[in-house]
Structure 1
Amino acid sequence: MPSIYVALVLLLTLCCFTQPAFAEKWLGPTDGPIKQTKKSIVFLSHDLQNSGPTLVYRGLEKAARILDWKITIVNGKGDTKNINDAFMEIIKRKPDAIVLGAFQEDMVARLIPLAKQANIVLVGWHAAAIPGPTPNLFVNVATNPIDVAKMIAEYVIHDSKEKAGVIIITDNHYAVAKEKAIRIKASIEACKTCKVLSIEDVSISLTDKLIDDFVIRMNQIHGSAWTYTLAINDLYFDVMNIPLIKIGRPDIRNVSAGDGSSTAISRIKAGKSQQIATIAEPLFLQGWQLADELNRAFAGKPPSGFVSKPILVTKQVLNRLNGKEIESDIPYKEAYTAIWKNGVAK
Structure 2
Amino acid sequence: MQFTLQHTDSATDARAGVITTDHGQIQTPIFMPVGTLGTVKGVHQQELKEQVRAQIILGNTYHLYLRPGMEVMEAAGGLHKFMNWEEPILTDSGGYQVFSLAHRRKITEEGATFASHIDGSKHLFSPESSLAIQRSIGADIVMAFDECPPYPSTHEYAENSMHLTHRWLERCVTYMRDSPPKYGHSQALFPIVQGGSYDDLRKKSCEFIAAQDQPGNAIGGLSVGEPIPDMYRITQLCCDILPKEKPRYLMGVGTPANILECIARGVDMFDCVLPSRNARHGMLYTRQGIINIRNAKWKNDHSAIDDHADAAPTSRLHSKAYLCHLIRCGELLAGQLATLHNLTFYLSLVREARRRILDGTFATWKDAVVPQLEQKR
Smaller-chain TM-score bracket? 0.3 to 0.5
**How high is the TM-score relative to the length of structure 1?**
0.35
TM-score, length-scaled by structure 2: 0.33
Between 1 and 2, higher relative CO (CA 8 Å, sep ≥ 6) is seen in 1
